[in-house]
Structure 1
Amino acid sequence: MLLITCPVTRTDELVADRRIRSVANHPTHLALSVECPACGSVHVYRTGRRWESRPAAAPARPAAELARA
């Protein structure tokens, strides 16, 4: 389930996953094309960053190393 705001009616709508028409993976974001239950149109919603573009986490260090630093 997704909570979207319809740009036509300006209402918040709860949308089932089956209404997602396509997902596009862009370099900076994901774009979801969602069929709106309020107006019947397909709207595109951008989500945050791509999974692959997230920086790698620093390797964990033992607590003893942290205490000496």
Structure 2
Amino acid sequence: MLLITCPVTRTDELVADRRIRSVTNHPTHLALHVECPACGAVHVYRTGRRWDTARTRTRIADRAAAQSSADAAAARAARVAVPA
């Protein structure tokens, strides 16, 4: 049994193993294709330590880029606000 969250209905669903349609092995994660009992669609759920590490690394890089662009915008605004 698997506990999944349906991305369509946003409900937690308990799913039997027979609802797993396929499992794909990737270098960074496993992809489970699961038929959802709530909406009837097939959703892909990715699992694995390396997948979580890669996602975390990407989130940290995105935050750093957003912070640096916010700092640059603040610096530009400060230069415009100061009379010459």
Could you list the per-position Cα deviations for residues 16-52 of structure 1 after superposition, in whole angstroms to 9, with x for gaps in the alignment?
00000000000000000000000000000001147xx
2:12 match: 12
2: distance between equivalents of 1:15 and 1:23? Answer: 15
User: Which residue is 2:33 aligned to?
Assistant: 33
C-alpha distance in 2 between matches for 1:8 and 1:48: 23
Partner SS for 2:31: strand
How many Å apart are 1:5 and its aligned residue?
A: 0.1
Which amino acid letter does the alignment assign opposite residue 15 of structure 1? V
Q: Secondary structure at the match of 1:8?
A: coil
Structure 1 distance, partners of 2:21, 2:47, is 15
The Cα shift of 1:9 comes to: 0.1
Task: Give structure 1 stretches of 5+ with no counterpart.
Answer: 51-69
Please identify which structure carries the higher strand content: 1
Give 1 or 2: higher helix fraction. 2
Map 1:40-59; keep pairs closer than 5 Å.
40-49=40-49
Partner of 1:22: 22
- Runs of 4+ with >6 A deviation: none
Tell me: higher relative CO, structure 1 or 2? Use CA pairs within 8 A at least 6 residues apart: 1
Which runs of 5 or more residues in structure 2 are unaligned?
Answer: 51-84
